Amino acid sequence: MFKKQKKYDLANLEREIHNLTRLVQINGIINSTLDIVRLLTIIMEIIKEIMETEASTLLLYEEETDDLVFKVALGEAGDELVEKYRVKVGQGVAGWTAEMRKPVIVNDAYSDRRFDPEFDKVTGFRTGSILCSPLLYKGKLLGVIQAINPVNRPEFNDDDMRLFNVFAEQVALAVQNAIYFQKAIEEERMRIELESARSVQESLIPDTDMTVGDMRIVARSVPAREIGGEFQRIFRLGDDILAVSLGDIHEKGISGGLHASMVAGSLRAISMIGGKSPLKVVRTLRRAVLDDSNPSARLSIFYGIVDVTGRSVHFSNTGVAYPILLRDGVARYLRLGKIGEAAEDEDKSILVRLQPGDCFLVISDGILNIRNRSGKHLGLKRVMEFLQKDFADPAALVDSLVLFAGDYAGESGRKEDISIIAIKVS
């Protein structure tokens, strides 16, 4: 019995590693072509392989007609569907998914009232089981993807759905990026590319103010005048578990913003599968970046798991973010190893137990590197002294720190993005 369980666990681990590798490949494809059909075909081929199905389809949503249009269909009936057939929102399983904006498993298509057999009649294909998920970007419907008829197993299960939903997020990002760049080609190239890159950068460092349980989480970012490669992400891994990240790929310009978008997408995908282990996520992400086609790729990343019920933050920090704990009016810098060695230390993590009144902060090095008119850096010491003022409200603390940094820079301005994440326990 023990040997069978060990073999089963090993097989699951090998499949998980295989799937994580494919997730990173999908993100690598995002910026590889401006041809949306070619881009999505490659992605769907990868999905068809991972989900191990007879067919897979991708339908894009047209706002003007409220239709779903077959853009990519892989399998023996694929050529008969692409660009020739449309599905009304609400029609069939795909239409139901688009209308309800919910994923669904249908393991006996012909006994499900939502299934529309018309396409089987046209193509001669026999649909048995369907795995369907909406493509959503910031709440906007982009389309629907489907995996049809699992191979070497009777039906889809909840594990298939969990993996498929992660893929759906990656496909949605790929679709949105392709749309951005198609528009860029149609207009003045450099101007539109710059605007698109700025839009990508702003989406990577969104402001956040949310309350979960007795914790309030506030994040604020101020981009520099030059487009850069900094990003932050805060998202749920469960009802009372959140992932908090702040990263930088140390690359400026349009390529920096786009590469940051790719890395941020990979991070979210990896987190959805292995997100409760900071070390596992950081190691997987860094391997993916280092194995990327760009030989000069660099990545600094802070990644933490916030347990709201347990009042804790478990994090790994392999970069230039600075975690600080404010407790009883005293600021403490939580470093891994000796000062200056945090960026190279990939094998450690810290678990911080928070108390009522504590405030846990993560600040980017862009704040510390700000220079005044005399050329002096703001530095960690000045920042920590400032943080020891009495800030009962985390939003006021974050906003005040941004203003403090701006006042210190004065007319000289900033050359780096600055980001701040504050987690306050009431």
pLDDT in tens, 136-149: 988 899 999 999 99
Percent of the chain with pLDDT over 90: 35
Residue 246: φ, ψ to 5°: -145, 120
CB contact at 8 A, 72 and 59: no
β-strands 230-236, 241-248 pairing: antiparallel
Angstrom CA distances, 354 to 19, 315, 357, 389, 393, stand at 35, 13, 8, 19, 17
295: pLDDT confidence band, cut at 50, 70 and 90? very low
For the chain, domains (ranges, CATH) are: 15-182 (3.30.450.40), 205-425 (3.60.40.10)
Based on its alpha-carbon atoms, the radius of gyration of the chain, rounded to whole angstroms, reads 23
When the pLDDT of each residue in the chain is averaged and rounded to a whole number, the result is: 81
18-30: pLDDT as tens digits = 766 766 766 666 5
- 335: tokens are 């470093």
75: pLDDT confidence band, cut at 50, 70 and 90? very low
pTM of the model: 0.58
Question: Does residue 192 come out as left (phi exceeding 0), alpha (psi in the -120 to 50 range) or beta?
Answer: alpha
CA–CA distance, 363 with 302 (Å, rounded to integer): 10
pLDDT at 176 over 90: no
Would you state the pLDDT for residue 119?
82
CB contact at 8 A, 338 and 403: no
Would you state the pLDDT for residue 101?
95
β-strands 241-248, 53-62 pairing: unpaired
34-58: pLDDT as tens digits = 677 777 777 778 778 888 898 888 8
Name residue, tokens 């070390």: 279
Would you state the pLDDT for residue 220?
87
pLDDT at 293 over 60: no
Q: What is the mean pLDDT of residues 290-314?
A: 80
Would you state the pLDDT for residue 122?
81
End-to-end CA distance of the chain: give it in Å, rounded.
48
211-242: pLDDT as tens digits = 999 999 999 887 766 566 778 888 888 889 99
Which of the given ranges, 16-30, 66-80, 90-104, 119-133, has the highest pLDDT on average?
A: 90-104
Would you state the pLDDT for residue 189?
59
332-347: pLDDT as tens digits = 999 864 333 333 445 5
364-413: pLDDT as tens digits = 888 898 888 888 999 999 999 999 988 879 999 999 998 998 888 886 66
CA–CA distance, 234 with 243 (Å, rounded to integer): 6
